[in-house]
Copies of this chain bind each other. A is one copy, B any other.
Amino acid sequence: MDQQLQIPVKIVVDNFTGTLTRTNKLFDSLTDEELQGEVSPGRNTGIYLLGHLVAAHDHLVTLLGLGDMQYAHFHEAFFKNPDKSGIEFPPVAQLRSDWNTVNETLTAGIATLQPEEWLQRHTAVSEEDFAKEPNRNKLNVLMTRTIHLASHLGQLLFLKKNA
């Protein structure tokens, strides 16, 4: 195993985990009522963003080859459609629990990947395309999803009253 590869992989994984920890700390501090609110007037509710993140991380599990999609039904309500589409959302307690479950699957799977495996193609890119663009690998997917999470975390902070 390449010593030089170990450090960049640790950096990306640790930054993902750190961003997730900060997000969970926020979700844990928000009441169900606060989560029902909009992050800014006319924008997404906390509930929608929570479901959206479950769908995104569920997809990430499959992109990293760590398992099958468990929340495919979330993609309709929280990904393909915008907030307030009329599609009924699961109860908040269920969403909170699903968020923890998908991240447990994700972090347990991430811990099993060896540094070299992070440079392998993610499951949504073909072998042909990967040969041309070797940066379309699992490490890249984890970094883009960290950016995605950070972007929504920045928005979710506004749900906290008196913060």
Query: Is A127 part of the contact surface with B, judged by Cβ < 8 Å?
Result: no
Instruction: For chain A, give the interface size range.
Output: 35 or more
| Surface stretch bound by B, among A55-63, A98-106, A140-148 | A140-148
**Which B residues touch A11, using CB under 8 A?**
12, 135, 137, 139-140, 143
> Are A9 and B8 closer than 8 Å at their CB atoms?
yes
Nearest CB on B from A147, distance (A): 4
Chain A, residues 143-163, CB within 8 Å of chain B (1/0): the string is 110111011111100100000
Instruction: Say if the beta carbon of A14 comes within 8 Å of chain B.
Output: yes
Once the chains bind, are B43 and A158 in contact (CB under 8 Å)? yes
**Is A135 a contact partner of B7 (Cβ separation < 8 A)?**
yes
A31-74, CB < 8 A from B: 39-41, 43
Residue A30, interface by CB 8 Å: no
Contact partners of A2 in chain B: CB under 8 A:
2, 4
**Chain B neighbourhood of A123, CB < 8 A:** none
Are A19 and B147 in contact, with the CB atoms below 8 A? Answer: yes
CA distance A150 to B154 in the complex (A): 8
